[in-house]
Chains A and B, each alone.
Chain A
Amino acid sequence: MSRSAHRRPATTRLRGARGLVGWLFVLPALGFYAVFVLRPITLTFQYSLYDWNGIGPSTWVGPANYGKVFTDPDLFDSLVNAFQLIVFFSAVPVVLGLASAATIRRIAASRLALVARTVLFLPQVIPLVAAGIAWSWLLASTGVVNQLLTLVGLGGVTRAWLGDFATALPAVGMIGAWVLLGLCTLLLLAGMSKIDPALYEAARLDGAGPWREFVSITVPSLRQEIAVCVTVTVIAALASFDIIYIATQGGPGNTTMVPGLQIYYLAFSEREVGTASALAMVLMVLVIACALPIQWFAKDGNK
């Protein structure tokens, strides 16, 4: 009887202490998260309900700024451009990443594989600003791209790629694809190295060729890695800023204007903090709306 009575209080106290300690451990990270993420988001939402130039007094306008995001062609078109960039920033690097990872995997034993991995990953370690500047030079009227085209007899096609209404957005998109290709390749390559070789042997015994192996074994096994690649690259497209700011500044004629750059111009050049904040909130919601389905897709594969 006394033993039973003694044991119960000890257990209760221990359980309570364990919970409290857990919260204490996570408190510093939560603190940083609250100060540097949650508070700015809250303030941005507050600003989005006002007409404010960032310095003087503000005027309450409620949801009017959100209406402007969807009715002002400059603002809405920047969202459209961001979605078009998803093709270049996401689809291209993921598909090419799969192809290059599979190729490198096939030649994994050779030294060429190491060189290929290194070269493909270089863009990832270069600052985006440097990438933007380098490609601006390459794509200029007298840049290497036009010189090469002229060399192979395509001089008639040459142009200032970043200054042409038809080619500016694709050109900026290709810069992004180049930057992100290395990340996707390495991530997918890492995923491939975890696939059980026995699966390939079994498939080969059943007469499967390289393409069938790729479609039936490699791609399904990389579900998680593909989901990560798509998530990272889609967010990079929607939130793009550095490359566009350096290469085109949204020009010519707003054809490469993206939400990130538009927010910057609204807040600091046009001094419309309210509208900038509304666009920022819309962008955040869109990023979440695009990223969540990808997460569900990846999770679904675990069943």
Chain B
Amino acid sequence: MARRVRPGRSGTALVIALGTLAAACAAPGSNSPQPQATGTSPASTAPACGSAPVTMSGYFETGFPLPKALTTEFTKQHPNVTWNVREDQFAIITQNAPRVLADNPPDLMRLPQVSELVKDDLLKNLDGYATAFGWDKWPASQLEQLRLGPGGRPRGEGSLYALGLNMSMTGLFYNKKLATQIGMSAPPTTLAELDQALEKAKQAGITPILQFNGGATGGLAFPLQNLMASYGPAAPINDWIFQKPGATIDTPANLQATQHLEKWIKAGYFQKDVNAVDYATMMSRFIDGQGLFMFNGDWESGNLDKQMAGNVGFTLMPPAQQGGKRAAMSAPLTFGIAANAKNADCAAFFLNWVATDKRAREIGVEIGGSRPMGPADAYMPEVGSDKVTASTLAAGADIAKDDGAMDFIANATGAIYAKSWTPNLQKLVAGQQTPQGLLKAVQADYAGQLEGN
């Protein structure tokens, strides 16, 4: 009986070699689902939902009551259209977007970041609908952030791939009682005045700014971008967000802004545990009156008007110089139509309805808290002057005048927020990163992520 020879290293090496060879035979992705051919020529008649029963599939964002309110009203006006809606948090939608659009394309989808989706042909080109519905005649700045070049870059020009339910507005919310307590009778009009208000609050034992910077979402990107807008023009920031060739976040103006943020951190103007606070905690503390200021957006206006009736104010980030131009993060609540959507025409009709229907626009303001997109002369409902919603709507007009609408620096690429801004901002808080180092690190990650696409 011959003794069995045990396979040695040569056997192992052979297995590895064969495995590698087999791995090279069929490249992954070669059989990915391809979008059906989609024409971009204008429709012969205006697209609509027809009269036969239609079930629209939607993928919306948790915590935003506006889309649901709009779809409910839409069904009231068009009873043949019903909705099958799935909701997830923004971070989950960001992660799921490509796979959902490829495998189970919804008719209407909340879009986190559009460039990479366009690159993989996952979104329907809306140029035909823009012509059919007259979206081209809206103020150009409304659609600028939703236009993308071939392959998804750069943004800000090219074909239309998404539409917004409204244009959000960001800035500073403040607690009126606490403001009175420190002698702040009117919102600050310059950065220096804001600094004074923060210092007075600190002296009075009031938390000057409540912000979130915990987990994978560094909310200090909000005050940072506002400071960037105070120190420099908005256009270069948008260029970076839009992935324009040669754009960089590491500029002298942005360095000053980051240094200013660091000054605020070291002065103790943010709550001590900012690195451990998430968005929901920030909101509950602000509503409880635990802080003077909060950098946030008008999607919370309706909520704050309800929870802090008469006690909450809103102001844009003041410029560095008196009377200087103002800019703010102001972006569409972006929704797209999947390239392979079953009811694309109806989805486009719905998006047009949101922008033009009187009742829809009322819902947009009352529940969404923001100015709906649409024609410049479109109907705008009255809002009581005592509501913070009135302030955020007025701010929209100011920003439009100064041409200061910016997208969020957190949306420059799909991963820049969680993987670059957040850890570096957290390190800045902990004293482990310098303003210069922060901008260089983010720019390096940005370049790497663009190269990887």
Chain A residues within 8 Å of B, Cβ to Cβ: 42-43, 45-47, 49-58, 60, 74, 140-141, 159-165, 248-254, 265, 268-273
Residues of A within 8 A of B214 (CB): 162-163, 251-252
Contact A57 B23 (CB under 8 A): no
> What does the 1/0 interface line of B418-445 toward A look like (CB < 8 Å)?
1100111011011011000000000000
CB under 8 Å from chain A, chain B span 40-86: none
Task: For the complex, give the distance between the alpha carbons of A249 and B419 in Å.
Answer: 11
Minimum CB–CB distance from B84 to chain A (whole Å) comes to 24
A253 touching B423, Cβ below 8 Å: yes
Give Cα A252 to B215, complex, Å: 7
Given contacts A55-B99, A74-B419, 16 further A-B contacts (CB under 8 A): A49-B24, A58-B28, A58-B29, A60-B27, A140-B276, A163-B274, A163-B276, A165-B426, A165-B427, A249-B216, A251-B216, A251-B423, A253-B424, A253-B430, A270-B414, A270-B452
Known contacts A165-B432, A271-B414; A54/B427 CB under 8 A: no
- Return chain B residues, CB-CB under 8 Å to A252: 214, 275-276, 423, 426-427, 429-430
Cβ of B422: which chain A residues have Cβ within 8 Å of it?
A: 251
Kindly state whether residue B119 has any CB partner on chain A within 8 Å. yes
Of all chain B residues, which has the CB nearest A165?
Answer: B430
| Cβ B273 vs Cβ A250 within 8 A | no
Within 8 A of A (CB), among B272-314: 272-277
With a cutoff of 8 Å between Cβ atoms, the chain B residues found around residue A163 in the complex are 214, 273-277
In the bound complex, residues from chain B placing their C-beta under 8 Å from that of A268 are: 95-96
Residues of A within 8 A of B32 (CB): 55-57
Residue B36, interface by CB 8 Å:
no
Q: B94-110: contact bitstring with A at CB < 8 Å (1 yes, 0 no)?
A: 11101100100000000
With both chains docked as a complex, state the minimum distance between the C-beta of A143 and any C-beta of chain B, in angstroms. Answer: 10
Whether the pair B27, A57 counts as a contact (CB closer than 8 A) is yes
The docked-state distance in angstroms from the alpha carbon of A251 to that of B218 is 10
Measured CA separation A270–B272 after assembly (Å) = 31
Determine the distance from Cα of A52 to Cα of B432 in the docked complex, in whole angstroms.
33
Distance of A255 from chain B, by nearest CB (Å):
9
Instruction: Determine whether the beta carbon of A141 is less than 8 Å from that of B430.
Output: no
Return 28 A-B CB contacts under 8 Å, by A number. Answer: A46-B22, A49-B20, A52-B28, A54-B99, A55-B32, A55-B99, A56-B32, A56-B120, A57-B27, A57-B29, A57-B32, A58-B30, A60-B24, A60-B27, A162-B214, A165-B426, A249-B216, A251-B422, A251-B426, A252-B429, A253-B424, A254-B423, A268-B95, A269-B414, A269-B419, A270-B449, A272-B452, A273-B28
CB distance from B219 to the nearest CB of A (A): 12
Chain A residue numbers with a CB within 8 Å of B27 are 50, 57-58, 60
Chain A residues in 8 Å Cβ range of B19: 42, 45
Interface string of B246-281 (1 = CB under 8 A from A): 000000000000000000000000001111110000
Complex contact A141–B28 (CB within 8 A): no
CB of B116 within 8 A of chain A? yes
Q: Known contacts being A58-B27, A269-B419, is A53 close to B98, with CB within 8 Å?
A: yes
Q: Which residues of B contact A43 (CB under 8 A)?
A: 28
A76 CB, nearest partner CB in chain B, Å = 15
The docked-state distance in angstroms from the alpha carbon of A271 to that of B214 is 23
Q: How many Å from the CB of A38 to the closest CB on chain B?
A: 12
Separation of A265 and B276 alpha carbons in the complex (Å) = 20
Q: Which residues of A contact B272 (CB under 8 A)?
A: 141, 159-160
Of B102, B275, B415, B433, which one neighbours A55 at CB under 8 angstroms?
A: B102
CA distance A199 to B24 in the complex (A): 61
CB pair B29 A160 closer than 8 Å: no
Interface pair A164/B29, CB less than 8 Å apart: no
Query: Which A residues lie within 8 Å of B228 (CB)?
Result: none
Across the two chains, which residue of chain A brings its CB closest to B217? A249
Q: Does B122 contact A (CB under 8 A)?
A: yes
For the complex formed, measure the closest distance between the CB of B295 and the CB atoms of chain A, giving whole angstroms: 18
- Distance, CA A26 to CA B96, complexed state (A): 38
Q: How far is the CA of A141 from the CA of B274 in the complex (A)?
A: 10
Leading 4 A-B pairs by shortest Cβ distance: A163-B276, A160-B276, A160-B273, A163-B275
Please determine whether A55 and B120 come into contact, CB atoms closer than 8 angstroms.
yes
A249 CB contacts on chain B under 8 angstroms: 215-216
A49: B residues at CB distance < 8 A: 20, 23-24
With beta carbons under 8 angstroms apart, the residue of A45, A54, A55, A269 that contacts B23 is A45
Q: How far is the CB of B113 from chain A (nearest CB, A)?
A: 10
Shortest distance from the beta carbon of A71 to any chain B beta carbon, whole Å: 13
What is the bound-complex CA distance between A57 and B102, given in angstroms?
13
Instruction: Collect the chain A residues with CB atoms within 8 Å of residue B94's CB.
Output: 269
Write the nearest CB–CB distance from B208 to chain A, whole angstroms.
17
Closest chain-A Cβ to B367's Cβ sits at a distance in Å of 30
Among B23, B414, B427, B433, which residue has the most Cβ atoms of chain A within 10 A?
A: B23
A residues less than 8 Å from B274 (CB atoms): 163
Closest CB in chain A relative to B416 CB, distance in Å: 10
Complex: chain A residue closest to B101, CB-CB: A55
Point out the residues of chain B lying under 8 angstroms from A270, CB to CB.
414-415, 419, 449, 452
Cα-based distance from A54 to B452 in the complex (angstroms): 13
Q: Which of A46, A141, A161 gathers most chain B CB within 10 Å?
A: A46
**Interface 0/1 of B1-30, CB less than 8 Å to A:** 000000000000000000110111001111
Which residue of A is nearest B92, CB measured? A268
Min CB–CB distance B285 → chain A (angstroms): 10
How distant is the Cα of A249 from the Cα of B94 in the complex, in angstroms? 15
